[in-house]
């Protein structure tokens, strides 16, 4: 079994973080996230945002960096084991996106 060197590990880690952010927090995936978790459409308004069909455990798992982040990391690592070069090439745009987000957060303060 192979272990990534520090550079590959940094690429895989940042790419996994960016994918987690996309799935758990980015507004572009609000609609699919609401569909999967059964969160009400008007969840940002006052009152009970969840309703009776809300899937709390699934929502907790999707938005938990320890839970979903672990499995996203496993997928990146498994892909790297199977296709080392291709996975790193695919990871680069995700890492660049993570860098843009990090810079925006730092510079907006």
What are 12-70's pLDDT values in tens digits?
A: 999 999 999 999 999 899 889 888 887 766 555 655 566 667 788 888 899 899 999 99
Q: What is the mean pLDDT of residues 78-100?
A: 97
- Global pTM reads 0.83
Q: Is the pLDDT of residue 107 over 70?
A: yes
More confident residue, 46 or 84: 84
Q: Retrieve residue 49's tokens.
A: 């945002």
How high is the pLDDT of residue 26? 92
Indicate left, alpha or beta for 104 from its phi (over 0: left) and psi (-120 to 50: alpha). Answer: alpha
Break the chain into its structural domains and give their ranges. 6-42+50-107
Q: What is the mean pLDDT of residues 85-95?
A: 97
Q: Nearest-CA neighbor of 15 among 86, 64, 107, 106?
A: 86
Q: Is the pLDDT of residue 83 over 60?
A: yes
Q: What is the mean pLDDT of residues 80-93?
A: 97
Q: Retrieve residue 38's tokens.
A: 């059964």
């Amino acid at each position: 079994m192979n272990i990534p060197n520090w550079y590959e590990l940094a690429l895989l880690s940042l790419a996994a973080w960016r994918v987690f952010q996309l799935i758990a927090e980015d507004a572009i995936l609000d609609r699919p996230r609401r569909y999967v978790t059964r969160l009400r459409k008007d969840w940002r308004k006052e009152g009970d945002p969840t309703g009776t069909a809300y899937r709390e455990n699934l929502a907790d798992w999707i938005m938990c960096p320890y839970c979903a982040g672990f499995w996203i990391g496993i997928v990146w690592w498994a892909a790297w084991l199977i296709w080392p070069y291709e996975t790193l090439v695919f990871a680069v745009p995700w890492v660049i996106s993570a860098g843009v987000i990090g810079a925006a957060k730092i510079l907006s303060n």
